[in-house]
Amino acid sequence: MMTFSRTTMKYKILSFAAFFMLISFLAPCLGAAKDYIDIDAPAFQKFPIAVTVFTKGGTDSDKEGLAIWFPDNLSKYLDMTGYFNILPRKAFIDDPARSQGNINFGDWTTIGADYLVKGHFSGQGRDLSVEMRLYDTVRGVLLREKKYSARTNDRKDMVIQFVNEILLVLTGERGVFNTQIAYVHRQGRNSEIRTVTFDGSAQKQVTNYRSLTLAPRWSPDGQRISFTSYRDGNPDFYIASMKGGAGKKVSSYPGLNLSAAWSPDGRKVLLTLSKDGNQEIYAMDSASGYLQRLTYDHAIDVSPVWSPDGKRIAFVSSRSGSPQIYTMDSDGKNVKRLTHEGNYNTSPSWSPKGDKIAYESTVGGVFQIFIISTDGGAAQQVTSQGREHKHPSWSPDGRYLAITVKSGGIDRVAVINANGTNIRVLSEGSNPAWSQYFK
């Protein structure tokens, strides 16, 4: 059994608010069993890790500076996860040119490194071969070794793959670098749907409707994205293929056709429609377009989201006099109120493991992100800075939230660890929706 006794363990889906805005505008590494460090624990302390300069094979000079590029980028992506304390290279005692297998682990524990990454590369023309190794310095053992062969231009993918391996070894799950976040990007008086990756790169515009386009939501397979747009004057519901194309108008009843979540199997889509005179929640068959009405209340019911098993739906309703989070069965029965504290709770997002719901609530007149257990109880506030934080959307591993951060009158899409730490801005925009893993 592997243990880690050496380190002390310290450490809206368009919401109700957005609705009114719309109207107004790693396999186990060693051994048969494995204990992973609980990075979600309140006392979690970042992994102290050292990443050395890579050694190179052959006689060719390192024209592209890969000996430094690899450790720099490994450090960047490890730091991006929020789980690592990257030790400064100037503190290293070990000779970086020392053989990969000849390591004085005491040199690393002396400077506080619990883990060590070393690497070696060789290249010929545009072909590149890279070896990367992760060591446990306290136990003096190799935890993971990987070899990659590709073109030089693919070196970023090598780095990300090995960062995922490190996360798998230490936490039991790979990272979310192969996911995307869809969001709303304001363009003057209009807005369009864009996507961005976890590291903030590869931004792509999905729609070009030149109108108010809102509420992006991913299909479970990541091949389609739904949204609401005023392209033809009415807030209609569309589904577009991520492979390209203009998108298909699926629901265009007079009044509101507000995009919401897809069912886990991709067969149904939740909508908020006002076709019957009041904002109510419906489930639409994504193939036939058949509608099933789920709520029947004089109050406004919006922002529905499925539980991971597809058996329950969380939503926002004002039936108690103020916007609150409720849950119901997938057929609309067995409605239960979940939130009882706060007078404006909106934008529910169900965690991938099904045990928590993130939402936004006003604190001193400013929206902040909260997390509550699905069986009720006290909610935990995870953001508290003076800025406004809204629209939480869980990452598929349940360890991060994509949110909207408003500061200086500008909305920005950011990601934070689920405990509220390590906030990182990705782009100007709002109302993010996180995809599942891409294959």
Mean pLDDT by 10 residues, the chain (439 residues): 34 38 35 51 81 83 84 97 95 70 89 96 88 96 96 94 96 92 95 96 92 97 96 96 87 96 96 94 94 95 97 97 97 96 96 97 95 93 91 96 94 95 95 91
Give 140's contacts (C-beta < 8 A, 6+ positions apart).
103, 105
User: Which amino acid appears at position 132 of this protein?
Assistant: M
Residue 108 is part of a domain; what is its CATH number?
3.40.50.10070
222 and 356: one domain?
Answer: yes
Of the candidates 126, 150, 171, which is a domain's last residue? 171
Residue 283 is part of a domain; what is its CATH number?
2.120.10.30
Determine the pLDDT at residue 40. Answer: 62
Q: What is the DSSP letter of 66?
A: H
113 and 229: one domain?
Answer: no
Q: Quick one: CA dihedral 34, 39, 43, 46, positive or negative?
A: positive
Q: Which domain holds residue 413?
A: 180-434
Determine the pLDDT at residue 385. Answer: 76
CA distance 306 to 109: 47
Of the candidates 141, 171, 201, which is a domain's last residue? 171
Q: What is the DSSP letter of 100?
A: T
pTM of the shown model: 0.87
Determine the pLDDT at residue 94. Answer: 75
155 and 192: one domain?
Answer: no
For the chain, the first-to-last Cα distance in angstroms comes to 32
H or E segment and range at residue 433: strand 430-434
Of the candidates 150, 171, 192, which is a domain's last residue? 171
Determine the pLDDT at residue 126. Answer: 85
376 and 393: one domain?
Answer: yes
3-state per-residue secondary structure call for 303-361: EEEECCCCCEEEEEECCCCCCEEEEEECCCCCCEECCCCCCCEEEEEECCCCCEEEEEE
277 and 254: one domain?
Answer: yes
Residue 275 lies in a domain: yes
Angle at 265 between CA 261 and CA 271, to 5 degrees: 25
224 and 304: one domain?
Answer: yes
135 and 208: one domain?
Answer: no
| Domain count for the chain | 2
Determine the pLDDT at residue 23. Answer: 36
152 and 203: one domain?
Answer: no
**Cβ atoms of residues 196 and 102 within 8 Å:** no
Angle at 76 between CA 72 and CA 80, to 5 degrees: 170
158 and 47: one domain?
Answer: yes
